[in-house]
Amino acid sequence: MGSNGNDLHILFFPHMAQGHMLPLVDMAKLFAARGARITILTTPANAKIIRPTIDDSIYLHIIPFPSTDFGLPQGCENQSSTLTGNQRMNFFKAVDSLRDPFDAVLRDLCPDCVITDMFLPWTYYVATARGIPRLVFHGMNNFALCANDAFERCRLVVEEAESFVLPDLPHQIRMLRTQIMDFEKLAGTPMEFLLEKHKEIIEVDTKNYGTVINSFYELEPEYADHYRKVMGRRAWNVGPVSLCNHEMTGKLLRGGEQSTSVSECLKWLDEKPMSSVVYVCFGSGGFFSLAQLRQMALGLEASTHSFIWVVRNGDDNWIPEGYEERIKGKGMMIKGWAPQLLILNHTAVGGFVTHCGWNSSLEGICAGLPMVTWPLFAEQFYNEKLLVEVLKVGVEVGSKVYEFNPEIRPILEAASVEAAVRNLMGEGEEADERRRRANVLGETARRAIEKGGSSDNDIEKLMQELINLRKQNFPQLLLQLDLLLKQGYLQSQLQVQGHMNRLVEETTTPRWRLARRRKAPVRRQEAPKAEAMRERENPSFEQTKCGMRISGYAA
């Protein structure tokens, strides 16, 4: 790919939640590093999180977020700031209200492609109306996408079964029914909005131009092939995207402000023997009851292994009496956000207790670490199966129930936590083989994103395909112009000749986009200022940053 990526312009629109936003921003960096022109669309509060992590080569386009219009506190622009089911419902409604602003951005910037989160399914319709291909980012791996599809196809058969095998997958994967979300049961509850969102996501999933996946082919080759060849999806594996953060600064800034000083954390780790520390973290959505936190604390202590444990800020009444004194020097508790990439890649860390969110799981894989798996909800139980049964780098703690609400989630006793950590960090042939496999995967992950690696090649292939797609659309536009002329919508051939000449000169980067709207007379007018651009009742030729565009014509 040329140094300027043939001026390919990609617009990224992440869902406003930490676990969705961070990997898509990292992905944007990978495309920018290969010459694409990148715009990230976000809101003011989220821009403050993103801006320190990107350089001047990436453009941040900010649109207002209507928090108060939907009963949310002023400045509540990220899903991690919502605390109740009702707040989450209102948050998703506020996100859905961004449809018109998104359309205005496409009209003004006219990108060659949009890459948007699965929780923004309406972006497919808006982009398609503008003639712009939409790639979806699910935030999941190939295995989870394949497993979810398999379950949807056998849902009615296994509705009441205690356990079942997911059909037609490369491996025999047995699941408990309690480990999989039943969206239909959300009807009539404060979480019903997720049922509707699930239906919307499924409806457009096969219509998208394709899928970009934060994974690499060598990690799950059977499932990458299954997703493409058996399920018939167009997909590009472009990860691990977190490896774009080569420098320490990138690792520090990713995710937010740390509550414990980095120097204090690293100094503590520097004093520990190699591979002796367990890192315990459950992501931005990993809530637990106070009773479960107590059992977790006691289990970690009883394991006798050193640990760093990231817990949420809040009520400390769950901490057992004398606990912090007893673990002094042996355990470190970080309340709030932690520099996860730095911790995982420190030589003193030898294991990772994770909720199996895909971002964290893949970061653990990149660090070459075996993991204790403690899934809570979403696709995390699928990820556990991948880590434990397919990749064989995980140890189950015993979580069996998919449940959002931590207060009614079954409690795992301290003994289960202790046993899992001892198994992970212990000696013996099984533990050694798990560590060996994890180390190999870590090395393979790093090679995948390097020049000539499988993910690097997929990024290059996708960029070239988008450039070719733009070239293919060029003749179609000429035909549309000719049709408009013949039907009398243009005054003369001379009216468009200047624009045609410009297009011919830019055959490698034609900057036209046809916006399909109702059929009506077309007139040419001077471009309004960007800040004043609004939807017009009458169709027109518009001069924008990406050249002349026809609007107001329906084929």
pLDDT in tens, 218-227: 999 999 999 9
422 or 535: which leads in pLDDT: 422
Say what percent of the chain tops pLDDT 90.
70
Report the Cα–Cα distance between both ends of the chain, in Å, rounded. 34
Q: Tokens representing 157?
A: 């058969």
pLDDT, residue 47, reads 97
Question: How far is the C-alpha of 436 from the C-alpha of 442, rounded, in Å?
Answer: 10
Structure confidence by residue, pLDDT tens digits, 142-164: 999 999 999 988 887 776 668 99
Exposed, middle or buried, 526 (CB in 10 Å: 0-12/13-18/19+)?
exposed
Determine whether 138 is an active site residue.
no
**366 within 8 A of 386, measured Cβ to Cβ:** no
pLDDT, residue 441, reads 99
pLDDT, residue 475, reads 61
Question: How far is the C-alpha of 98 from the C-alpha of 366, rounded, in Å?
Answer: 35
520 has pLDDT over 70? no
Count of positions (residues) in the chain: 555
Half-sphere exposure of 78 (CA within 13 A, CB side): 20
Structure confidence by residue, pLDDT tens digits, 371-411: 999 999 999 999 999 999 999 999 999 999 999 889 999 99
424 has pLDDT over 50? yes
Residue 488's pLDDT band (cuts 50, 70, 90)? low
**Average pLDDT, integer, range 14-20:** 94
pLDDT, residue 158, reads 75
Structure confidence by residue, pLDDT tens digits, 301-334: 999 999 999 998 677 889 999 999 999 999 999 9
Exposed, middle or buried, 468 (CB in 10 Å: 0-12/13-18/19+)?
exposed
Q: Tokens representing 155?
A: 């849902």
The neighbouring-strand residues paired with 543 are 548
271 has pLDDT over 70? yes
Backbone angles phi, psi at 270, to 5 degrees: -60, -25
Closest of 488, 502, 22 to residue 254, by C-alpha = 22
92 has pLDDT over 60? yes
498 has pLDDT over 60? no
pLDDT, residue 482, reads 63
Residue 514's pLDDT band (cuts 50, 70, 90)? very low
Closest of 20, 92, 86, 80 to residue 287, by C-alpha = 80
SS3 assignment, position 59: strand
Q: Give the H/E segment covering residue 105.
A: helix 99-109
The neighbouring-strand residues paired with 164 are 175
Question: How far is the C-alpha of 308 from the C-alpha of 286, rounded, in Å?
Answer: 16
Question: How far is the C-alpha of 367 from the C-alpha of 423, rounded, in Å?
Answer: 19
**183 within 8 A of 192, measured Cβ to Cβ:** no
CA distances from 17 to 95, 204, 517 (A): 11, 21, 33
Distance of CA 180 to the CA centre of its chain: 20
Q: Tokens representing 249?
A: 């600064």
Residue 14 preceded by cis peptide, ω within 30: no
Helix residue ranges, H only, 15-84: 18-33, 44-50
**414 within 8 A of 295, measured Cβ to Cβ:** yes
Catalytic entry in 26, 103, 112, 117:
117
**Average pLDDT, integer, range 343-353:** 97
Question: How far is the C-alpha of 220 from the C-alpha of 411, rounded, in Å?
Answer: 32
Backbone angles phi, psi at 351, to 5 degrees: -165, 165
DSSP character for 182?
-
Structure confidence by residue, pLDDT tens digits, 454-486: 999 999 999 999 999 988 876 655 665 566 566
Catalytic entry in 20, 226, 346, 355:
20
Which CATH architecture is the domain 247-450 placed in?
A: 3-Layer(aba) Sandwich (3.40)
Q: Which of 193-197, 232-236, 251-255 has the highest mean pLDDT?
A: 232-236
**Average pLDDT, integer, range 523-550:** 37
- pTM value is 0.85
Determine whether 458 is an active site residue.
no
pLDDT, residue 181, reads 86
Mean pLDDT of the chain: 85
Max intra-chain CA distance, the chain: 87
**Average pLDDT, integer, range 542-549:** 38
518 has pLDDT over 90? no
Q: Tokens representing 114?
A: 């949009």
Question: How far is the C-alpha of 323 from the C-alpha of 157, rounded, in Å?
Answer: 49
555 has pLDDT over 90? no
**Average pLDDT, integer, range 424-429:** 95
Helix residue ranges, H only, 327-404: 340-344, 358-366, 380-385
Ranges 254-263, 299-308, 509-518: which has the least confidence: 509-518
